[in-house]
Structure 1
Amino acid sequence: MTVADGEPAAAVPASNPQDNQTSDPKPSENPMDATESKPVAQPADSLDDLGLPNSAADGLVTKPFPKPLEGVQPEPPAQLTPEQNSKYEQVLKEVSSWTKVPVSLAKGAEERPLTDDDRMFLTRECLLRYLRATKWNVSDAVKRLRNTLAWRRDYIGDKLTPEYISIENETGKQVILGYDIHGRPCHYLIPSNQNTKTSPRQIEHLVFMLERVIDIMPPGQESLTLVIDFNQTKSGQNATISQAKQTLDFLQNHYPERLGRALVINIPWYINAFLKVIWPFIDPVTQKKLIFNDDLRKHVPPQQLMADVGGDVKFEYRHSDYWPALTKLAERRREAYRQRWIAGGKKIGESEFYLRGGEERATTETTAPTGEQQLEEKLEKLAVDNDKAAETTPTASAS
């Protein structure tokens, strides 16, 4: 979880498990052999070749789980009031009119045309998250959405690749594993596994993993559960005050409403002191989502919870197993998401429920009908009932 301010560190060759392969064998002299050796192409959403486990029942686990346990469902979304829906429509109209956005948050930054990635980011649920985070202030939500697009272009772009980030996770200091009782992906932060010195790449690592958590969210879910385990953490392994402030800044400004719950356990005294210092910088809504030293089995099904924190999953972090599996799982989910967005017409305001593979093409939040709409529905029903009655009433014979 540690992150830092300052200038980017000098480029360091990333340790990519996929690079640690033996040299390619000599090409076959028989063209037919070469053809037969080609791997069979997998559909964008197919995971059969990854050998992913589903629960503790699979024995020793070294790869991420691709889905929640059977029967685990996200909580139903809140119903929008007519006023809230009106504000959503205002935001949708405004962002749909954008043709250019800045390339960074720097003052006077150049503006460039909106890309497909920008448009795909602006889903119905995304606009609603920013509205909720700004207490339904339309102008504030629009401003923050525009700032986030600029930030994503500059900070994420094409830079945060699995190869570049790999070295940061070689010891498993961050792990995405399992889903909580509401289908939220669980993102573990384990400071005792810290393996690198303070650098900007540590914050980039956190952003990269947050993006992967979002990639693997099931239909109807838009938030995550953080599991922060300070067991065996030594002084100096946790984030500095500066790092914590920077992390809170981008989480609250660019990932609003993404935190569903934060489960914090095994807190040593110096972490308690640290939390007291940064507590005023944490949004009050976020503060309510933090739960300290609770029984994690109440929040995450034991069959998908690490044994180290009270669950039944015997998990061992093996970078050469975990990192390629997480990378491919996220890539395929992301590609399936994109293909659905394209098939749906590349719309701003598209439903994430649909994009994540939901069975119905529908938004995840509904609007409460207005009084006028309710009256219209009653009149329509009355007209239908009258028509049916007329059809069943016998007519008199002509004399």
Structure 2
Amino acid sequence: MAEITPTDLELDPKYDDYDFPTKAPIPQTGHAGYLTALQQAQVHQLRLMLEAEGYTQRLDTLTLLRFLRARKFDVNLSKHMFVECEKWRKETNLDDTVPTWEYPEKEDIFKYYPQYYHKTDKDGRPVYIEQLGGIDLTAMYKITTAERMITNLAVEYERLSDPRLPACSRKSGYLLETCCTIMDLKGVGLTKAPQVFGYVKQVSGLSQNYYPERLGRLYLINAPWGFSTVWNVIKAWLDPVTVQKIHVLGGSYQKQLLEQVPAENLPKPFGGTCECAGGCALSDMGPWREKEWTRPAKWEKKEAKADATITNTPGEIKEGAAAAEGAAPAAEAADVRAPAPAAA
């Protein structure tokens, strides 16, 4: 295999305003800091094609690179994927939903389906945990709706992109774009499997279609008897790069899992030593909660700017006094983050 030569990432000042490292930790072609001249040109080509169709959001280099990698640097296929994603975002009103999203039924849903980010693995990536054995969609839909569950998943993907991954990148000193995922299959028997895997297939589609290149490692733990046979069939259909990221483990998973996740970062029920006050599942602990590494997300800055320049008066909404008098509005005034839901 030819040696991969480091290269400076060509940034576009119109779209690239990163305040975190932008070089991948491992030399991999197609990743930031290791692009060929052709791949860098394909980034420019994709951006120009999207601009020509009127797109102005999410055209930064790292985002375009993720879509290009997801389609093996086929620019036309990458463009189609990006356009379909933007259509979905518009249909779901996602950009307006993220800053204001609340999920008060979260704790009740967690009784059936805990899903949360919790600290980092040894590579500095966010650890994302799902426990699938308690899923009971009939009971869960009495608490919430399928639509709200999917919306919450999308919101948490947005919050993974910003502020979680940028905070992890700052702390690690290199670019981090993926997660270490633990999916616990304990309790997923034959009777429950169709319901569980039907839901997982639905949410996996959202991940693959709209949030590409976010999987770093996936550990399937407590895999039931017979699952390995099924897995051997499934992995024959998958990209070899994806297969290398997935590890199917039975009940004796702790040793291999602890090789990737420090014991102090892994919740005690999975063989670690972490016991967060109030429970790890609801703590949302990680660098994104540490003042030294976190910064306001772009969607938070947008919301803060809107709050600073608009005031309500009886009978009308008008611009704030500073803007009315021609003074510069107080943009990005507050460095305050409302607690993000732990689920994803």
TM range (shorter): 0.5 to 0.7
Tell me the CA shift for residue 257 of structure 1.
Answer: 0.8
1:229 paired to 2:188: no
Q: Which has the higher contact order (CA 8 A, sep 6+)?
A: 1
- Residue 163 of structure 1 corresponds to 103
Show CA shifts across 1:103-146 (max 9, x none). Answer: xxxxxxxxxxx6xxxx1x33211100111111111111111111
**Residue identity in the other structure for 1:262:** L
- Residue 249 of structure 1 corresponds to 205
2:81 to 139, 144, 151: 144
1:309 paired to 2:309: no
- Distance in 1, Cα, partners of 2:221 & 2:200: 18
- Residue 188 of structure 1 corresponds to 129
1:207 paired to 2:154: yes
SS at match of 1:288: helix
- Residue 82 of structure 1 corresponds to 37
- Residue 37 of structure 1 corresponds to none
Asked whether the 8 Å contact 1:173–1:192 carries over to 2, the reply is no
Asked whether the 8 Å contact 2:67–2:81 carries over to 1, the reply is yes
Tell me the CA shift for residue 252 of structure 1.
Answer: 1.9
**Residue identity in the other structure for 1:289:** K
What is the TM-score when the length of structure 1 is the normalising length? 0.53
- Residue 369 of structure 1 corresponds to none
**Residue identity in the other structure for 2:47:** L
Show CA shifts across 1:134-188 (max 9, x none). Answer: 1111111111111111112224625573326624335561121011111111110
- Distance in 2, Cα, partners of 1:92 & 1:260: 26
1:296 to 257, 268, 275: 257
Q: Which moved more, 1:252-261 or 1:76-85?
A: 76-85
1:173 paired to 2:123: no
Query: Which runs of 5 or more structure 2 residues have no equivalent in the other structure?
Result: 1-22, 27-31, 170-174, 304-344
Q: Rate the CA distance shift 1:317–1:281 in 2: closer, same or farther, 3 A.
A: farther
Query: Which runs of 5 or more structure 1 residues have no equivalent in the other structure?
Result: 1-72, 101-113, 343-399
Asked whether the 8 Å contact 1:226–1:263 carries over to 2, the reply is yes
Tell me the CA shift for residue 303 of structure 1.
Answer: 1.5
Asked whether the 8 Å contact 2:114–2:281 carries over to 1, the reply is no
Asked whether the 8 Å contact 1:304–1:313 carries over to 2, the reply is yes
- Distance in 1, Cα, partners of 2:93 & 2:84: 13
1:91 paired to 2:41: no
Show CA shifts across 1:299-337 (max 9, x none). Answer: 1122211122221212576599648x89x969x968443
Counterpart mapping for 1:100-119 below 5 A: 119=57
Show CA shifts across 1:247-275 (max 9, x none). Answer: 33322221211101101111112544664
Counterpart mapping for 1:376-387 below 5 A: none
Asked whether the 8 Å contact 1:235–1:270 carries over to 2, the reply is no
What is the TM-score when the length of structure 2 is the normalising length? 0.60
**Residue identity in the other structure for 2:102:** P
1:153 paired to 2:114: no
Identity %: 23
- Distance in 1, Cα, partners of 2:51 & 2:158: 24
**Residue identity in the other structure for 2:154:** V
Q: Rate the CA distance shift 1:210–1:97 in 2: closer, same or farther, 3 A.
A: same
Asked whether the 8 Å contact 2:117–2:128 carries over to 1, the reply is yes
Tell me the CA shift for residue 237 of structure 1.
Answer: 4.5
Alignment: residue pair count: 249
Q: Rate the CA distance shift 1:287–1:233 in 2: closer, same or farther, 3 A.
A: same
